[in-house]
């Protein structure tokens, strides 16, 4: 019985060595893969020929009107046939691209502070609207970090009223919106550049509303009303 086992075992070793070769032996043939695990997939590599397309090129001509990522996109007309104005207040859809302060929040390698546009009531209203759409779920309506996402298990949402963020340069907050921070994802691919600044302006207003605001901040014609409501 044992005799057969040894004979079979020796045969097996010979078989394995024949198929797989000696350990350390070099071969120009691809290795034998018993479970390929989708390691190899047909794909085209840039600038290489491909016989997949009739013209033999792997690179395709971009569809007409294609805009490279990061470039300003011309505002498109409503596709539903309506004549209605586009809801965006901007002439161009702009997500990023440049190296200017407006696009990065930085002067050289320093964070800059100040909005690159005038903070009009329209800008603040736009900021409030965009904040409500994109940030409120996590940071809460007042920015206290108590948005609904916290109730569903998202932890450590920043409270935007903490002194550190009050003291933070506007450019750094702009950058946090663009690229995210730790567990917060970036919104640079879905919030346009001017909207990011409008949100920064609105966050400043929220911060002011939760401490540091004086009667001087209330428009003169509304002070009497406020004093009547809060004697």
**Which residue's CB is nearer to ligand HEC, number 199 or number 205?**
199
Applying CB under 6 A, the span of 59-67, 114-122, 129-137, 208-216 interacting with ligand HEC comes to: 129-137
Q: What angle do CA 49, 55, 59 make, to 5 degrees?
A: 50
φ, ψ dihedrals at 181, nearest 5°: -155, 125
List helix spans (H) across the chain: 2-20, 101-104, 121-134, 136-139, 148-151, 163-167, 170-179, 193-209, 220-229
By CB under 6 A, tell whether 124 contacts ligand HEC.
no
- Of 51-59, 80-88, 158-166, 223-231, the window that binds ligand HEC (rule: CB under 6 A) is 158-166
| Measured CA distances, 139 to 20, 83, 102, 192, 203 (Å) | 59, 36, 24, 19, 11
Tell whether residue 204 is a contact of ligand HEC (CB under 6 A).
no
Smallest gap, in angstroms, from Cβ of residue 202 to ligand HEC? 8
Nearest in space to 180 (alpha carbons), one of 151, 158, 201, 205: 158
Q: Is 218 among the residues that bind ligand HEC (CB under 6 A)?
A: no
In angstroms, give the least distance from the CB of 86 to ligand HEC.
21
Q: Is residue 137 a contact residue for ligand HEC (CB under 6 A)?
A: yes
Q: Which two tokens stand for residue 122?
A: 């329209």
Is residue 182 near ligand HEC by the rule CB under 6 A? yes
Binding segment for ligand HEC (CB under 6 A), chosen from 33-41, 121-129, 157-165, 214-222, is 157-165
Overall residue count recorded for the chain in this entry: 231
Phi first, then psi: give them for residue 93, nearest 5 degrees: -85, 120
User: Using the rule CB under 6 A, is 115 a contact of ligand HEC?
Assistant: no
Q: Which residue's CB is nearer to ligand HEC, number 32 or number 156? A: 156
User: Applying CB under 6 A, which of residues 184, 186, 210, 218 lies at the interface with ligand HEC?
Assistant: 184
C-alpha span between 124 and 26 (Å, rounded): 68
The binder of ligand HEC chosen from 96, 101, 104, 158 (CB under 6 A): 158
- What is the chain's alpha carbon radius of gyration, rounded to the nearest angstrom? 30
138 binds ligand HEC (CB under 6 A): yes
Q: By CB under 6 A, name the binding residues for ligand HEC.
A: 134-135, 137-139, 149, 154, 156-158, 160, 165, 173, 176-177, 181-184, 187, 191, 199, 203
């Amino acid at each position: 019985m044992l005799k057969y086992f040894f004979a079979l075992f020796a045969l097996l070793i010979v078989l394995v060595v024949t198929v797989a070769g000696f350990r350390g032996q070099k071969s120009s043939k691809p290795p034998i893969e018993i479970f390929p695990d989708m390691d190899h997939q047909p794909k085209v590599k840039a600038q290489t020929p491909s016989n997949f397309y009739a013209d033999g090129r792997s690179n395709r001509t971009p569809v007409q009107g294609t805009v490279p990522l990061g470039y300003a996109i011309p505002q498109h007309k409503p596709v539903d046939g309506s004549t209605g104005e586009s809801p965006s207040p901007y002439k161009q859809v702009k997500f990023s691209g440049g190296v200017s302060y407006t696009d990065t929040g930085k002067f050289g390698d320093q964070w800059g502070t100040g909005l690159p546009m005038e903070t009009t009531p329209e800008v603040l209203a736009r900021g409030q609207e965009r904040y409500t759409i994109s940030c409120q779920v996590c940071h809460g309506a007042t920015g206290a970090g108590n948005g609904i996402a916290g109730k569903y298990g998202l932890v450590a949402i920043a409270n935007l009223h903490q002194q550190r963020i009050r003291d933070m340069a506007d450019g750094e907050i702009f950058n946090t919106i663009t690229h995210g921070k730790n567990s917060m994802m970036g919104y640079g691919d879905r919030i346009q550049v001017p909207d990011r600044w409008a949100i920064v302006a609105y966050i400043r207003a929220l911060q002011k509303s939760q401490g540091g605001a004086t009667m001087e901040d209330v428009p003169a014609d509304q002070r009497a009303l406020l004093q009547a409501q809060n004697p």
